[in-house]
Structure 1
Amino acid sequence: MDERRLARVRENLSKRDLAQMLVVDPISIKWLCGYYTEPYERFLALYVPAQGAPTLFANQLFPDPSGCGARIVSFSDTDDPVAFVTETCTREQPLGVDKALMARWLVPLMESGAASGFVLASDAVDGARSIKDAREQDLMRAASATNDQAMAWLVKQIAPGVTERTIADALLGEYRRLGAEGHSFSPIVSFGDHGADPHHEPDDTAFVPGDVVLFDVGCRQEDYCSDMTRTFFTAEPTDHQRAVYETVRRANEAAEKIVRPGVTFAEIDLTARRTIEDAGWGPYFTHRLGHQIGLVDHEPGDVSASHDEPVQPGQCFSIEPGIYLPGDMGVRIEDLLIVTETGCEILNHYPHDLVVL
């Protein structure tokens, strides 16, 4: 059990007047106590009380959880795990639950009277996970360094006739050659006007010289994720294409420049958005500016106009403005950064300069 992380979760629960919580997200359980398994349809949960050792509820089919620092309650497929949780909870107190708790478990828990009430308390864990410690920051740097190398490999794959899918499929092998375990999300490879679809899925479209090429890729390395987008030209860009690209680049760099503790996520989003709006392409920047990232590619806490909280040292998130012109082209430039005590550290070192391959 990581006592520092546990203490941060308990502090967050205390701020919400909660003395107990049931954590069921397998990634959060691993983050807290080092134990991981994918439960699929079976029940897995970590009960966190205000004081004393947490309790891990684990099916006997799961890998041995001993050594995780929690009291272990094991059960078989014929047992009712809800009964064990009910016996453990303090009935006179409300119970915090996380967003991953399925209704098939939550409703019986509510009917059993396991607690005096049930409160969505995912933010108690999400908020603690949001602040990366020194070790986590090093792992984020390493994953992004690998992603920089992968981007250099990707641009070398562009050749007449190669398909989006061919490059996307080959990327996994390159990540593993570089020391990563795999993708942090399905890679996006877009040729030509496919770049106007922010979440285009690679298909059998073949590259034609002159296409604008967009790569949005990330790897998972030692459990931590990277994420980066770069857009390239394969012929001398027109004035229109150059203007679109340079507007996105300015938006990216302007937003990154203002990141420091105390600045709100909304202000960061607005800085990039104003740059694009002032250039006349505001309606074509169709998504939030970014998302937090760590053990999963998209962690709670987005960089958007609706997120008024100030950023804090140790938080890691993306800055990814884009302009998407249907039937024409799309440009996105994305970096990850870590908030420092005085500003921020950009994790990606692959350049932003307009490049003709």
Structure 2
Amino acid sequence: MKIKRVNNVLEIMKERGLSQLLINDIYSIYYLTGVYIDSGERFFSLLLKTNGEHKLFVNRLFLLQANCLVDKVIYSDTDSIMNIVSKYLDSNTPLGVDKELPAKFLLPLIHGGAAKEYKIGSLCIDQVRGIKDKEEQDKMRIVSKINDSAMERLKNIIIPGISEKEAANKLLDIYYELGADEYSFEPLIAFGENAAEPHHSVDNTILKDGDCILFDIGCKKNMYCADMTRTFFYKQVSEEHQKIYDCVKQANEKAIHQIKPGIRFKDIDQVARTYIEDAGYGDKFTHRLGHFIGIEVHEYGDVSESNSDIIQEGMIFSIEPGIYIQGDVGVRIEDLVMVTKDGCELLNYYSKVLEVII
């Protein structure tokens, strides 16, 4: 068990009036125990109780993988697992349940009267995961450095006649060569007008002179995720496309410059959004400014105009403004930042100066 992390969760549970919390999110269980098990359809859960009587419910199939210092409750496929779980719950107090808990497990608890009431308790751990400790910060630096190197190598494989799929197919080998474990998400590679779709699916589009080249890529190392976007141009860049690129770059840098503890997330979003609006492209910036990242590439929390939460030291999130002109071009520049005592540390060092690939 990661004792400090668990204690931080227990403190928030007490603040929220919860004495018991059932965690089913496999990444949250890993975060608290160091055990990662993808149990598929089988029940796998960590029960936290403020009295210290924590339990890890695990199917016998995964027993050897569940190597951690927490009491285990082992069950078989033929057991009625939710009846077993109920025996460890206090039926006279509320139960915090994970947002990831499937109805097929939750409903038997409700029908069996396993707790006084049921509350979504995920925020108790999401808030703790949102502030990275030193171990996590170091891992995020390492994986982001790998991603920077991968961006350089990926750019260098661009040749006349290459397709999006051909470029994407080379990326996994690049990551392996650099020491990454796997993708953190499937790469988003878009040429020309395809880049105007912020979540374009890679296809057989062939690169043409004058196209933009958008690389949104990420890898995992030691369970932690990288994510970065850069936009290049091929052979030439028009005056209008140069203007769009410069606008996005300035929006990215201005937002990053404002990041420090005590500032609201919505105010950071507003800095970038206002700059793009003033340049005449406001309706072409169609998404939030950023998302949290760590064990998962998208974690709880974001940088958006609806988020009034206060930025705190240790948080790590993306800053990724974009401008998307349908049928023409898409430009996005994304960096990961880690909040420090009096500002932020940029985790991506790959240049943001416009590059035209010849």
In structure 1, distance between residues paired with 2:160 and 2:350: 24
Report Cα offsets for 1:245-271 as digits up to 9, x if no partner. 011001000100000001111111111
Moved more, 132-141 or 200-209: 200-209
In structure 2, distance between residues paired with 1:63 and 1:188: 37
For 1:274, give the aligned amino acid.
T
Question: Which residue of the partner structure matches residue 294 of structure 1?
Answer: 294
The answer to whether 1:80 aligns with 2:97 is: no
TM-score by length of structure 2 reads 0.98
The answer to whether 1:307 aligns with 2:311 is: no
The answer to whether 1:327 aligns with 2:330 is: no
Report Cα offsets for 1:108-129 as digits up to 9, x if no partner. 1111111100000111111111
Compute the displacement of 1:67 (Å).
4.1
Aligned residue for 1:56, secondary structure, equals strand
Question: Which residue of the partner structure matches residue 174 of structure 1?
Answer: 174
Question: Which residue of the partner structure matches residue 258 of structure 2?
Answer: 258
Aligned residue for 1:47, secondary structure, equals strand
Question: Which residue of the partner structure matches residue 127 of structure 1?
Answer: 127
Compute the displacement of 1:236 (Å).
3.1
In structure 1, distance between residues paired with 2:291 and 2:82: 34
Residue pair 1:292, 1:302 contacting (<8 A) in 2 also: yes
Report Cα offsets for 1:28-53 as digits up to 9, x if no partner. 11110111210111100000000224
In structure 2, distance between residues paired with 1:63 and 1:276: 53
Question: Which residue of the partner structure matches residue 197 of structure 1?
Answer: 197
Question: Which residue of the partner structure matches residue 279 of structure 2?
Answer: 279
For 2:220, give the aligned amino acid.
R
In structure 2, distance between residues paired with 1:115 and 1:303: 36
For 1:74, give the aligned amino acid.
I
Residue pair 1:37, 1:63 contacting (<8 A) in 2 also: no
TM-score by length of structure 1 reads 0.98
Aligned residue for 2:21, secondary structure, equals strand
Question: Which residue of the partner structure matches residue 115 of structure 2?
Answer: 115
Compute the displacement of 1:355 (Å).
1.1
Residue pair 2:209, 2:236 contacting (<8 A) in 1 also: no
Question: Which residue of the partner structure matches residue 188 of structure 1?
Answer: 188
Instruction: Write the mapping of 1:331-342 to structure 2, written as runs, cut at 5 A.
Output: 331-342=331-342
Residue pair 1:218, 1:227 contacting (<8 A) in 2 also: yes
Instruction: Write the mapping of 1:158-237 to structure 2, written as runs, cut at 5 A.
Output: 158-237=158-237
In structure 2, distance between residues paired with 1:65 and 1:85: 20
Aligned residue for 1:233, secondary structure, equals strand
Residue pair 1:313, 1:339 contacting (<8 A) in 2 also: yes
For 1:288, give the aligned amino acid.
R
Residue pair 1:53, 1:70 contacting (<8 A) in 2 also: no
In structure 2, distance between residues paired with 1:271 and 1:55: 46
For 2:239, give the aligned amino acid.
D
Report Cα offsets for 1:38-80 as digits up to 9, x if no partner. 0111100000000224100111111425541211111111111
In structure 1, distance between residues paired with 2:14 and 2:236: 59
The answer to whether 1:350 aligns with 2:350 is: yes
Residue pair 2:58, 2:66 contacting (<8 A) in 1 also: no
In structure 2, distance between residues paired with 1:170 and 1:66: 35
Residue pair 1:56, 1:70 contacting (<8 A) in 2 also: yes
For 1:303, give the aligned amino acid.
V
Residue pair 1:289, 1:321 contacting (<8 A) in 2 also: yes
Residue pair 2:210, 2:238 contacting (<8 A) in 1 also: no
Compute the displacement of 1:170 (Å).
1.2
Aligned residue for 2:356, secondary structure, equals coil
In structure 2, distance between residues paired with 1:19 and 1:52: 10
Residue pair 1:65, 1:72 contacting (<8 A) in 2 also: no
In structure 1, distance between residues paired with 2:32 and 2:51: 15
In structure 2, distance between residues paired with 1:101 and 1:52: 22
Aligned residue for 2:317, secondary structure, equals strand
Residue pair 2:46, 2:55 contacting (<8 A) in 1 also: yes
Residue pair 2:182, 2:221 contacting (<8 A) in 1 also: yes
Aligned residue for 2:52, secondary structure, equals coil
For 2:88, give the aligned amino acid.
T
Unaligned runs of 5+ in 1: none
Compute the displacement of 1:9 (Å).
0.5
In structure 2, distance between residues paired with 1:218 and 1:190: 15
In structure 1, distance between residues paired with 2:62 and 2:122: 24
In structure 2, distance between residues paired with 1:63 and 1:78: 16
Unaligned runs of 5+ in 2: none
Question: Which residue of the partner structure matches residue 13 of structure 1?
Answer: 13
